[in-house]
Chain A
Amino acid sequence: MATKLTSVLKPRKKGMSPQKKKKKIILSDADQAIGASEKRVARALVYPSASSTDVAEDEDDVEEMLRQFDLDAKFGPCVGLSRIERWERAQRHGLCPPQNIRDVLERVGGEPNCLWEGRV
């Protein structure tokens, strides 16, 4: 489990995909008996911010953008409400949050909550 956290915190770059293959080792022997689709789901559970298919690099950019939005102090604290709620709150306060964040959250389907949601 510790491996999962460190890989989440490191900035994702293009050359990091080999790490994905390393993760298969983390799954226990029992899991190897499961079919391929189940393994993918299990991988998704280990790495929560990835989508259920094998993740391409553009997902990382999306997540990176959303994380920058989370950490922007102008829009207030990010823990305790979902990203869309925080975006809407910023909109209501007249802070003009970037529209592409909203689009990403609604259409592309980025992670609804910030990184620390449920953990802090």
Chain B
Amino acid sequence: MAAVAMEVDDAPPLERKEARYTRKDEDFERRVQRYKGQQYSHLYYCRLHKLRGALSSLVQSGFPGVPVCPILGLEDGKRCVVIGTIYKQMKLKPSILDEYAKERSKLPLATASNFMHPDDYLVLEDESGRVKLVGSVVVPSNYVTGIVIAACGAAGKDGDFFVQEIIEPGLPPQPPLPSITEDKYVAFISGLRIGSDHCDPLQLQLLVDHLTGHLGDEQEQMLSAQVIRLIVAGNSLDMQYNLLAGQAISAKDQARLTEPVKELDLVLTQIAAAMPVDIMPGANDPANFTLPQQSLHKCLFPGASAYCTFLPATNPHRFELDGIEFLGTSGQNVDDLDKYSEAKDVLELMERTLRWRHIAPTAPDTLGCYPYTDKDPFVLDRCPHVYFCGNQRSCMSRLLTVEGKSVRAISIPRFCDSGTAVLVNLRTLDYHLLTLSTSALLDA
């Protein structure tokens, strides 16, 4: 048989860049824990203990000579420092007891999305007791229940503590930023919401094709080859939970339930075949409700699980790429903060969580959380280099430089609404937006 002459591309194949990946989710995985009926007091105790250690050294250096008193040991007029957990008394906070109240008070004009009220006040609590914080320095709208702070001031005659200064734990120690010589990008997407009406399958397929290098000419492919990893930050599915009403599900409804999962599996298989992908669960995904959410089970993704590049991750997710530390959530922590406090934008809330050294301070008060007895996994020991938060309205980013530590804080927009993915350059910690649109197609 004569040899068939084939046209072979002389150019060498483009290789995707690689980076050393280390997963650091051990704190968030619940392998050994068994619920024995314990309450949340242990979680608060562990949180207070850990952050009190960080605060003590700050207090000693910032206020030398001022004693740290337990709250029950406060003396009138004596200047001292108290360390404890904040409880914010909120008038409009929904309480299960309201359903049993004989008199329903009129609801003020506050929207259901934010429960703040001018009459909110802060109470500081430690093991011995609690005391109300007063003073012009105390602005309740900037704080939430569950953070640990130190307050310097003096107790007044009426039992309140007049605060002169509030000390927050501040950013935790940060490992040095390694220097990387070439441009490598990490792609973030969130809020795919496959199965909902918002999701545009063509837009998603465009993204997949772009990331896997099936789109565009050589220059485009070179850009795609620089993307080393994709992180899917929650809410990838929009399951029709109303079908799970407790009755037997008909075959047609069963198909409707499983369709979105199969579609997501197809998408993830295509991506996993080309590059490493981490998928985090979100508020609407088939994972547990309480934080830390455990990784989506691999039986949901029979196609993608065959690849070693596919990694179901927990929410929050912590990992390291070439020495750069990443930490992020699918957005539940920040959304809950938004309901109970006021901030200019999402990035300010994220900055506050870093300053409080706790990524989800409202857990377990208003944010579902597992009742740990031996630790609080949301307390930050190390400051990440990149701090992300999924399922937000728009992409915003800021390089926070505080006390010599720099953190790239990014909010990832919902893909179903914006069609935007975010790329972060590991070399410079810059971010770029990748927007895919099918509107031109529809107009034509």
Contacts and interface: CB of A to CB of B under 8 A. Distances in A.
A85 interface: yes
Contacts of A74: 127
25 contacts: A73-B127, A74-B127, A76-B41, A76-B42, A76-B46, A76-B49, A77-B42, A77-B45, A79-B38, A79-B39, A79-B41, A80-B36, A80-B37, A80-B38, A80-B39, A80-B41, A80-B42, A80-B371, A80-B373, A81-B36, A81-B373, A85-B373, A89-B373, A89-B374, A93-B50
A14 interface: no
Interface string B351-389: 000000000000000000001011000000000000000
A96 B371 CA distance: 24
B128 interface: yes
Contacts of B37: 80
B41 A92 contact: no
Contacts of B373: 80-81, 85, 89
Nearest to A80: B38
Contacts of A80: 36-39, 41-42, 371, 373
Interface residues of A, number: 11
Given A81-B36, A93-B49, 5 more contacts: A74-B127, A76-B41, A77-B42, A79-B38, A79-B39
Contacts of B128: 73
B365 to A, nearest CB: 17
A81 B38 contact: yes
Nearest to A86: B373
A85 B37 CA distance: 15
Interface in A51-71: none
Interface string B118-135: 000000000110000000
Interface string B42-55: 10011001100000
B38 to A, nearest CB: 3
A21 to B, nearest CB: 37
A93 B45 CA distance: 11
Contacts of B39: 77, 79-80
A102 B48 CA distance: 25
A17 B68 CA distance: 46
Interface string B294-334: 00000000000000000000000000000000000000000
Contacts of B50: 93
A70 to B, nearest CB: 13
Contacts of A73: 127-128
Nearest to A94: B53
Q: Nearest 10 pairs between A and B by C-beta? A: A80-B38, A76-B45, A77-B41, A73-B127, A81-B373, A89-B374, A93-B49, A80-B39, A77-B42, A77-B45
B120 to A, nearest CB: 27
A76 B49 CA distance: 9
Interface in B9-47: 36-39, 41-42, 45-46
A85 B374 CA distance: 9
Contacts of B45: 76-77
Contacts of A89: 373-374
A73 B38 CA distance: 17
A85 B36 CA distance: 13
Interface in B102-138: 127-128
Nearest to A73: B127
Contacts of B41: 76-77, 79-80
Nearest to A95: B49
Nearest to B49: A93
A93 B373 CA distance: 12
A81 B42 contact: yes
Contacts of A79: 38-39, 41
User: Which of B38, B39, B46, B374 counts the most A-chain CB atoms under 10 A from its CB?
Assistant: B374
A31 B308 CA distance: 66
A85 B371 CA distance: 15
A74 B127 CA distance: 8
A29 B89 CA distance: 56
Query: Which of B38, B46, B49 is most buried by chain A, counting CB atoms within 10 A of its CB?
Result: B49
A3 B317 CA distance: 54
Interface string B238-255: 000000000000000000
Interface in A61-116: 73-74, 76-77, 79-81, 85, 89, 92-93
Nearest to B373: A81
B12 to A, nearest CB: 54
Nearest to A118: B37
Nearest to A93: B49
A100 to B, nearest CB: 22
A89 B49 CA distance: 12
Contacts of A77: 39, 41-42, 45
Interface string A28-42: 000000000000000
A74 B45 CA distance: 10
